[in-house]
Amino acid sequence: MQPGALNHTYVLQIGPLGISDVVVTTWAIMLILWLAAWVSTRALKESPGSWQTAIEGIVSALEDAVGSVVPEHKDLVMPFVGTLWVYLVVANLAGLLPGLHAPTGNLSATTALAVLVFLSVHWFGIRTQGFRRYLLHYIRPNPILLPFHIISEITRTVALAVRLFGNMMSLEMAGLLVLLVAGLLAPVPILMLHVVEALVQAYLFGMLALIYIAGGLQTQVLREQEKE
């Protein structure tokens, strides 16, 4: 494990633009996930084997999680949140591989994910309600609340990025320190801790993103209730 948030290793320099190892790892993870999804859906069978059964189980679990929060818009939200969850699990566990560290232990990577969630909240809201109707909820019940709504949107996005970054960086730092002190006597417990914490942090980030999206969709439900 390496404290990747503290060290930036540039693997390629294109003029003033440096491509860090975090970017390379992130794109490698996305490529691997795309290839896995492509291979897994090429030969689907009515009588699935063990691999197809495992994939279907994962998809079903993700659908149930999304449906429990936004049942009316499950099919709309599921592709984004499901993909986010799968990526986060793989990215968080990447630190277990020798010579790599989790991209989510880098603040720039978690900030990009948080901004993506921020944009998705408004995209889903505008798609389901229309641009004008969606923006109106920021000035209801009183226009004086607009600055508070804006501050809330910014602070929760920052908190989302910092929470994941801080937890993953501290996990890798703690693991590194324990290994330096205990040597080879403690690798298995540390690895198990890393796996559990990686899964927990991926779940929390994805669930918070889902709750924020549900909040954007909920404005439509509230207006419909007001009309009744």
Q: What is the pLDDT of residues 210-219, one digit of tens each?
A: 999 998 887 5
Q: What is the mean pLDDT of residues 20-36?
A: 91
Q: Is the pLDDT of residue 186 over 70?
A: no
Whole-number percent of the chain with pLDDT over 70:
83
Spatial neighbors of 93 by CB under 8 A, at least 6 apart, are: 102, 194, 195, 198
- pLDDT at position 34 over 60: yes
Please give the average per-residue pLDDT across 77-92, as a whole number: 94
> pLDDT tens across 188-204, in order?
666 777 788 889 999 99
Instruction: For residue 225, name the pLDDT band (cuts at 50, 70, 90).
Output: very low
**Section 102-121 average pLDDT:** 93
Note the pLDDT of residue 8.
59
Q: State pTM to two decimals.
A: 0.84
In angstroms, the Cα distances linking 162 to 32, 88, 190 are 26, 15, 23
pLDDT at 168 over 50: yes
pLDDT at 1 over 50: no
Question: Which is nearest to 206 in space by CA: 85, 56, 34, 40?
Answer: 85
Q: What confidence score (pLDDT) does residue 16 get?
A: 72
Does residue 84 contact residue 96 with C-beta atoms inside 8 Å? no
